[in-house]
Amino acid sequence: MRFIFRRHLPSSNSLLLRYHTKSLKSNDALKHYLESGEPNKALLDFRHRFRESPCFIDSYSVLFAIKASSSIQKASSFHGRQIHALATKLGLDSVIQIRTSLLSFYSASGDLADARKVFDETPKKQSIVLWTAIVSAYAGNENPLEAIELFQRMESERIELDEVIVTVALSACADLGAVEIGERIYRRSVKRKRRFAMDLTLRNSLLNMYVKSGDVEKARKLFDETLRKDVTTYTSMIVGYALNGQAEESLELFKKMKTRQDSSTVTPNDVTFIGVLMACSHGGLVEEGKRHFRSMVEDYNLKPRDAHYGCMLDLFCRSGRLREAREFINQMPVKANAVMWRTMLGGCSLHGDVELGEEAQRRIFDLDGGGGDHVGDYVALSNLYASRGMWDEKVKMRDRVRKRRVPGKSWIELGSSITEFVSGDDGEKKKVSEVLKCLVACMTSYACN
């Protein structure tokens, strides 16, 4: 897409009216393409209208074009940046809706630096939508710590809260396992706006935070206290039990969900079945898992996604039924992706099937374009060789590991602050070591006295 900045101004009121009418029709077309899930057509139409005459371009058409760029899978950075340049050229980038959409666009393309630049350069930051966009950008791009810090900054500036921004903040707390901070955010939000206490979406977000943090007891307490439950409430608790190895409790709750006799019967969705299949996998319940998988399709008319197929493969592999897993892959209506083959490789490593393990590794290599970015693939196969006493093959596989793993991260929550630790960071290691030495010295001195 190439924009040429020419401006043709109408010379009369009648001509202005004609341009205005065409502009409205153009915007309707852009909106139609977006609502129909055809962002590429929206961008092509925008380019055509611009080439026909820049006078057709107004803040609405620019807004639709930015949204179209964000909607394209792996957001088109090239097109979005051109539209950003056009908006700046036409003096439209000061419109708060356009700035917010630009921020969301850069977030969708994974460009947090430019997203933050758009935010920082916004002179008046009183819009809750703008704050929601920047907090969501960090939370959605695996930077929950910065998301929480921005939310706390927003609170200190007394920006009016809404349910959406609080939900995003709780999601960031869930990713960090920052339960205390999440609880404080929820309490302060309810204190500022009483209606939040009755908001089911917020309660579900709090429940999800407890689940992801492994605090199943608090999650169940909140679940039981929530009188009006929807499918998300049940699904969060079912998945929570499954994630924490409590398969029996997960399946029992699923059964209760389906057999409720009151008027508020809840129908499971595809995410609910992911939790159910995970529970079956962790509990080694192969036949029950197969039955639930069939029920999902036959009784609820739900189309299985990659996640469901992956859960079934995990169920077979954990139980050592590797040949059944291979047959399941052959019968799937979709092509197995790298994650599914890694599940197979893990199962082969666990149960010592070299032949199938080598096939899984070859499939992963082909799907990843031969990049070999996942060190764990080579480690799993080398461990498989070692378990069968194939030491030469093990050494060869270890020698193929050329890339280091991405450093792991952990967070420690203390009061209202969170400290991030990165694996291999010698500076942080020294600090921790010094604190431990001081603690040991203090305890030794106390014991001697």
Which one is predicted more confidently, 389 or 113?
A: 113
Q: Say which CATH number the domain at 21 has.
A: 1.25.40.10
In a domain, 138, yes or no: yes
Which one is predicted more confidently, 37 or 276?
A: 276
Same domain, 118 and 157: no
In a domain, 13, yes or no: yes
Cα separation, 344 vs 318, in Å, equals 9
| Chosen domain end from 202, 228, 254 | 228
Q: Which of 13-22, 269-278, 359-368, 432-441 has the highest mean pLDDT?
A: 269-278
Same domain, 60 and 114: yes
421 bridge partner residues: 410
Predicted pLDDT of residue 430:
66
CA atoms within 13 A on the CB side of 267: 7
Query: 419 in helix, strand or coil?
Result: strand
Percent of the chain at pLDDT > 90 equals 43
Confidence of residue 166 (pLDDT cuts 50, 70, 90): very high
CA pseudo-torsion sign 168, 174, 175, 181: positive
Burial of 406 (0-12, 13-18, 19+ CB in 10 A): exposed
Range of the domain at 223: 124-228
Same domain, 111 and 128: no
| Chosen domain end from 102, 122, 142 | 122
Cα separation, 33 vs 18, in Å, equals 23
Same domain, 129 and 114: no
Under a CB-based contact definition with an 8 Å cutoff, are residues 55 and 10 in contact? Answer: yes
| Chosen domain end from 122, 142, 175 | 122
Which one is predicted more confidently, 424 or 446?
A: 446
Confidence of residue 258 (pLDDT cuts 50, 70, 90): confident
Average pLDDT over residues 318-344: 93
Predicted pLDDT of residue 90:
83
Predicted pLDDT of residue 167:
95
Cα separation, 428 vs 94, in Å, equals 42
| Whether the predicted pLDDT of 235 surpasses 50 | yes
Average pLDDT over residues 161-190: 92
Contacts for 279 with CB less than 8 Å, ≥ 6 apart: 238, 241, 242, 246, 247, 250, 251, 254, 285
In a domain, 262, yes or no: no
Tell which residue, 63, 60, 68, 64, has the closest CA to residue 39. Answer: 68
Predicted pLDDT of residue 280:
96
**397-431 pLDDT tens trace:** 676 665 445 555 555 555 555 556 555 555 556 66
Burial 305-317 (b: 16+ CB within 10 A, else e): eeebbbbbbbbbb
Share in percent of the chain as helix, strand, coil (round to 5): 70, 5, 25
Burial of 446 (0-12, 13-18, 19+ CB in 10 A): exposed
Under a CB-based contact definition with an 8 Å cutoff, are residues 359 and 340 in contact? Answer: no
Under a CB-based contact definition with an 8 Å cutoff, are residues 101 and 132 in contact? Answer: no
Same domain, 9 and 110: yes
Whole-angstrom Cα Rg for the chain? 27
Length in residues, the chain: 449
| Whether the predicted pLDDT of 1 surpasses 50 | no
Q: Give CA angle at 55 (54, 58), nearest 5°.
A: 95
Same domain, 130 and 177: yes
Same domain, 114 and 8: yes
| Whether the predicted pLDDT of 199 surpasses 60 | yes
Which one is predicted more confidently, 322 or 36?
A: 322
Query: 413 in helix, strand or coil?
Result: strand
| Whether the predicted pLDDT of 7 surpasses 60 | no
- Per the rule left: phi > 0, alpha: psi between -120 and 50, beta: everything else, 245 is left
Cα separation, 154 vs 127, in Å, equals 10
Average pLDDT over residues 38-62: 77
Cα separation, 353 vs 347, in Å, equals 8
In a domain, 282, yes or no: no
Cα separation, 148 vs 161, in Å, equals 14
Q: Say which CATH number the domain at 187 has.
A: 1.25.40
Give the rounded distance of the alpha carbon of 34 from its chain centre.
23
Tell which residue, 215, 217, 221, has the closest CA to residue 203. Answer: 221
Percent of the chain at pLDDT > 70 equals 80
Confidence of residue 74 (pLDDT cuts 50, 70, 90): low
- As given in the structure block, the two tokens for residue 227 are 């009188």
Tell which residue, 234, 255, 244, has the closest CA to residue 283. Answer: 244
Same domain, 45 and 138: no
Confidence of residue 332 (pLDDT cuts 50, 70, 90): very high
Under a CB-based contact definition with an 8 Å cutoff, are residues 118 and 99 in contact? Answer: yes
Under a CB-based contact definition with an 8 Å cutoff, are residues 144 and 128 in contact? Answer: no
Predicted pLDDT of residue 420:
60
Average pLDDT over residues 333-351: 91
Under a CB-based contact definition with an 8 Å cutoff, are residues 336 and 363 in contact? Answer: yes
Same domain, 115 and 166: no
Tell me the residue type at 128: I
Average pLDDT over residues 342-359: 89
In a domain, 172, yes or no: yes
Same domain, 82 and 133: no
Judge if pTM exceeds 0.85.
Answer: no
Angle 322-331/338-351 helices, nearest 10 degrees? 160
Confidence of residue 58 (pLDDT cuts 50, 70, 90): confident
Same domain, 34 and 10: yes
What total of structural domains would you count in the chain?
3
Same domain, 115 and 2: yes
In a domain, 45, yes or no: yes
| Whether the predicted pLDDT of 26 surpasses 80 | no
Q: Which of 23-27, 158-162, 323-327, 444-448 has the highest mean pLDDT?
A: 323-327
**376-394 pLDDT tens trace:** 777 777 777 777 778 777 7
In a domain, 2, yes or no: yes
- Minimum mean pLDDT range among 24-33, 130-139, 176-185, 410-419: 410-419
